[in-house]
C-alpha cells in the first residue's frame, strides 16, 4: 500500500471546491506515453494550473499500470524541477470498471478514482459506487461516479446511444453513494467522431459538420438539485479542424471527425462543471505533427526527431485548453 500523499499527489476535494466557486474547470488529460506526460506537466507549470492526469483501461493495457504510476510520481518531481514549488497534480483512474480495479489503483498510489457503474441499473450503480467510496475514503482518495450514458467509443468504453442523466435521480445517488463528483451525460460523447452526419447540420461555406448543442437545460436542472456539487464532463474534445485537416492533408483519412465546440465547453466550465476530460484532441495534435514531420522529412527515422514536434504540438494544445477554454490558469 502506497499513499498518494507520499508521491506528492493531491486528491480532487479542495481543487473542485475552488473550481466550482471560481467558475472554471480543471483539465483532465489522459496519458499513455512519456511525451504526453511531459507535455501535460510543461503546460500545467507554464500556466500555473492544477491538472488531473488520468489513466484509462486502454492506457494500463498499453503502458503497464506500474509504469504509469511511477510516471505520475516522476511528473510531480518534473513539475518541481520546472520551477513549480507546489504542484497540484491528481493521478486519476478513468472509467474504473470494478471495485477490484479501483482498489488496486488506490493501493498503488492513485489519488482519485472513477467507478463507472453507468451501464448498471440505478440501484446496482449505487451499490457498487458506495462500495468503492467506502474503501477510497478510508484512504482519503476521492471518487467520481457516473449517471447517464455517453455515446461513442474510447478505450473500450462504448455505447451506441446516449441517455441524458435524469436530474430527478441525482440527489438520491449522491446522498446514498457519498461520491465526491458526478459525471453526467448532456450530449458530450467519446472519441473523434462524436456525432453522425445525421445528427449535425453542415456549414454551407466550409462543408464541415456543425454538431448539435449540449443539453444545458439538463445541466441547469442538475445544478439546481445539487447546488455546488462538482460535475464532470467526459468526451469533451473539440476535435480541432486544423489538426484534422493536417492529418488528412498528409495522407490521413478522418472524414467528418467532429467534436464539442469550444464556446460550449467555455460555458460549461463557468458552471458547476469542474472537470473536463480531453483525450482525443491530444491524439489528434500528436498525429498531425508526426504526419506533417514525416511528409517534410522523409529521411528521418530517429523517434526523437518526430516526437519533439509532436510533444510541442500537444503542449500548445494543452495550454490553449487551460487558458482559452477551461480558465484554470493562475489557480495554484
By annotation, the residues acting in catalysis are 94
Q: In terms of CB distance, is 84 or 186 closer to Zn ion?
A: 186
Q: Least separation, in Å, of the C-beta of 98 and Zn ion? A: 16
Residues in Cβ contact with 253 at an 8 Å cutoff, skipping those fewer than 6 apart:
none
Q: Least separation, in Å, of the C-beta of 30 and Zn ion? A: 9
Pairwise CA distance, residues 259 & 306, whole Å = 26
- 51 closest CA partner among 67, 68, 38: 38
Pairwise CA distance, residues 144 & 114, whole Å = 4
Pairwise CA distance, residues 174 & 283, whole Å = 33
Q: Least separation, in Å, of the C-beta of 259 and Zn ion? A: 14
C-alpha angle 262/282/47, rounded to 5°? 70
Are the beta carbons of 144 and 95 closer than 8 angstroms?
no
Q: In terms of CB distance, is 7 or 257 closer to Zn ion?
A: 257
Q: In terms of CB distance, is 234 or 320 closer to Zn ion?
A: 234
Q: In terms of CB distance, is 35 or 279 closer to Zn ion?
A: 279
For 145, the 3-state DSSP assignment is strand
Q: What is the DSSP string of 199-210?
A: GSEE-TTT--EE
- 36 closest CA partner among 280, 325, 322: 280
Q: Residue 26 — left, alpha, or beta (φ > 0 → left; ψ -120 to 50 → alpha)?
A: beta
Q: Which single residue brings its beta carbon nearest to Zn ion?
A: 234
Q: What is the CA radius of gyration of the chain?
A: 19
- Alpha-carbon distances, residue 2 vs 127, 144, 210 (angstroms): 26, 21, 47
Length of the chain, in residues: 332
Q: Least separation, in Å, of the C-beta of 191 and Zn ion? A: 10
Q: In terms of CB distance, is 84 or 231 closer to Zn ion?
A: 231
Eight-state DSSP code of residue 258 = B
Q: Least separation, in Å, of the C-beta of 129 and Zn ion? A: 16
- Return the C-alpha cell found at 271: 458552471
Q: In terms of CB distance, is 79 or 183 closer to Zn ion?
A: 183
- The footprint of Zn ion (CB under 5 A) covers 234
Residues in Cβ contact with 105 at an 8 Å cutoff, skipping those fewer than 6 apart:
55, 65, 93, 96, 113
Q: Least separation, in Å, of the C-beta of 269 and Zn ion? A: 17
Amino acid at each position: 500500500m502506497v499513499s498518494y500523499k507520499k508521491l506528492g499527489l493531491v486528491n480532487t476535494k479542495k481543487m473542485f471546491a475552488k473550481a466550482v466557486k471560481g467558475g472554471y474547470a480543471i483539465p483532465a488529460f489522459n496519458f499513455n506515453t512519456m511525451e504526453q506526460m511531459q507535455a501535460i506537466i510543461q503546460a500545467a507549470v507554464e500556466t500555473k494550473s492544477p491538472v488531473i492526469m488520468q489513466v484509462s483501461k486502454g492506457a494500463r493495457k498499453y503502458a503497464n499500470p506500474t509504469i504509469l504510476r511511477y510516471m505520475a510520481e516522476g511528473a510531480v518531481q518534473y513539475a518541481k524541477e520546472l520551477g513549480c514549488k507546489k504542484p497540484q497534480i491528481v493521478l486519476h483512474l478513468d472509467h474504473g470498471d470494478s471495485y477490484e480495479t479501483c482498489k488496486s489503483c488506490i493501493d498503488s498510489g492513485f489519488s482519485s478514482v472513477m467507478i463507472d457503474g453507468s451501464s448498471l441499473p440505478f440501484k446496482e450503480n449505487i451499490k457498487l459506487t458506495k462500495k468503492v467510496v467506502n474503501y477510497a475514503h478510508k484512504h482519503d482518495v476521492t471518487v467520481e461516479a457516473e449517471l447517464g450514458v455517453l455515446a461513442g467509443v474510447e478505450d473500450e468504453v462504448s455505447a451506441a446511444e446516449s441517455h441524458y442523466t435524469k436530474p430527478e435521480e441525482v440527489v438520491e445517488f449522491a446522498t446514498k453513494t457519498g461520491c465526491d463528483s458526478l459525471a453526467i451525460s448532456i450530449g458530450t460523447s467519446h472519441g473523434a467522431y462524436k456525432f453522425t452526419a445525421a445528427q449535425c447540420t453542415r456549414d454551407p461555406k466550409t462543408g464541415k459538420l456543425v454538431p448539435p448543442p449540449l443539453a444545458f437545460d439538463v445541466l441547469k436542472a442538475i445544478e439546481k438539485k445539487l447546488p455546488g456539487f462538482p460535475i464532470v464532463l467526459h468526451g469533451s474534445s473539440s476535435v480541432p479542424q486544423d489538426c484534422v485537416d493536417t492529418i488528412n492533408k498528409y495522407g490521413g483519412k478522418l472524414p467528418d471527425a467532429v467534436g464539442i465546440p469550444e464556446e460550449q465547453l467555455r460555458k460549461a466550465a463557468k458552471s458547476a462543471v469542474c472537470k473536463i476530460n480531453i483525450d482525443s484532441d491530444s491524439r489528434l495534435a500528436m498525429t498531425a505533427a508526426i504526419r506533417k514531420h514525416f511528409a517534410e522529412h522523409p529521411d528521418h527515422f530517429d523517434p526523437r526527431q518526430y516526437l519533439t514536434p509532436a510533444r510541442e504540438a500537444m503542449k500548445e494544445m494543452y495550454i490553449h485548453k487551460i487558458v482559452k477554454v477551461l480558465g484554470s490558469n493562475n489557480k495554484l
